Amino acid sequence: MTVAAPLAPPPRAARPTLLDARSAWITHLPFGAWLVAALRPRLLVELGVHVGVSYCNFAEAMLREGVEGRCLGVDTFVGDSHTEAYDGSVLAALRAHHDPRYGHFSTLRQATFDEAASEVAPGSVDLLHIDGLHTYEAVRHDYETWAPKLSSQAIVLFHDTEVRRGDFGVWRYWPEVSAGRPHFSFRHGFGLGVLAPGGVPHALRPLLDATPAEAEEIRRLFMHLGGGCLTALQAS
């Protein structure tokens, strides 16, 4: 497999429109853009939007790639024990960036993840990003609550799979939820788990069916591309 051909995202998608040093997702932005372009989700949901860097990157990829789907970003926008508390200025600043560019297909929902789940149809979510409170109990609850909402081709992203400090527990849950299911993991950027609970979508076979050698090449590729986003942030 030649990694650069099927996996490298278009150069335009590697230039995010929103960068913020408070986000821990900076080095995963090129992969997020590639994933949207490959999967072309009909409904994309992010749980844990915070300042909106990852979410707006997904939305930008939807817009630039002409994906005719919808996005839903869910957060209480008051913080938690891992992000600390923050005030309404975070959501206000995000809306000022988000609404004019993405508001026609994307919704920022200020709610708990459980509240939002009750509003989403079963089997409708093609891409779910779980990035809320990162305790073992919380991430397990979020996945189990939203699992019925996933489509047969759904991909689920788990951020912070490599963080082993304090009460962070995604690293404990990731081996459990990925066991016996197609998956891929990135180790840079605090870790990112990519799970295909319903089977491998055709467009993601180069990623999820990669040999160990190919997987390492893919990791190097996206770590390199993500480093470019970090450089852009530091230069801004």
User: What pLDDT digit, counting tens, does each position of 11-45 carry?
Assistant: 444 467 777 757 778 899 999 999 999 999 999 99
Residues β-bridged to residue 45: 72, 128
Structure tokens at 86: 């923050």
Q: So what's the pLDDT on residue 233?
A: 76
Angle at 11 between CA 7 and CA 13, to 5 degrees: 85
DSSP alpha helix (H) spans, the chain: 4-7, 29-39, 53-64, 89-102, 113-117, 136-146, 170-178, 205-208, 212-235
In this predicted structure, the answer to whether residue 8 has a pLDDT above a threshold of 80 is: no
Residue 17's pLDDT is: 79
CATH of span 25-235: 3.40.50.150
- Which pLDDT score, from 0 to 100, does residue 2 have? 37
Q: Which of 195, 189, 194 is nearest to 226 (CA)?
A: 189
Lowest mean pLDDT among 11-20, 53-62, 104-113: 11-20
Q: What is the pTM of this model?
A: 0.91
Mean pLDDT of 189-205: 95
The CA distance from 31 to 50, in Å, is: 19
**pLDDT tens by residue, 129-157:** 999 999 999 999 999 999 999 999 999 99
List, in sequence order, every beta strand (DSSP E) within the chain: 43-47, 70-75, 106-110, 125-130, 150-159, 183-186, 192-195
The pLDDT of residue 231: 81
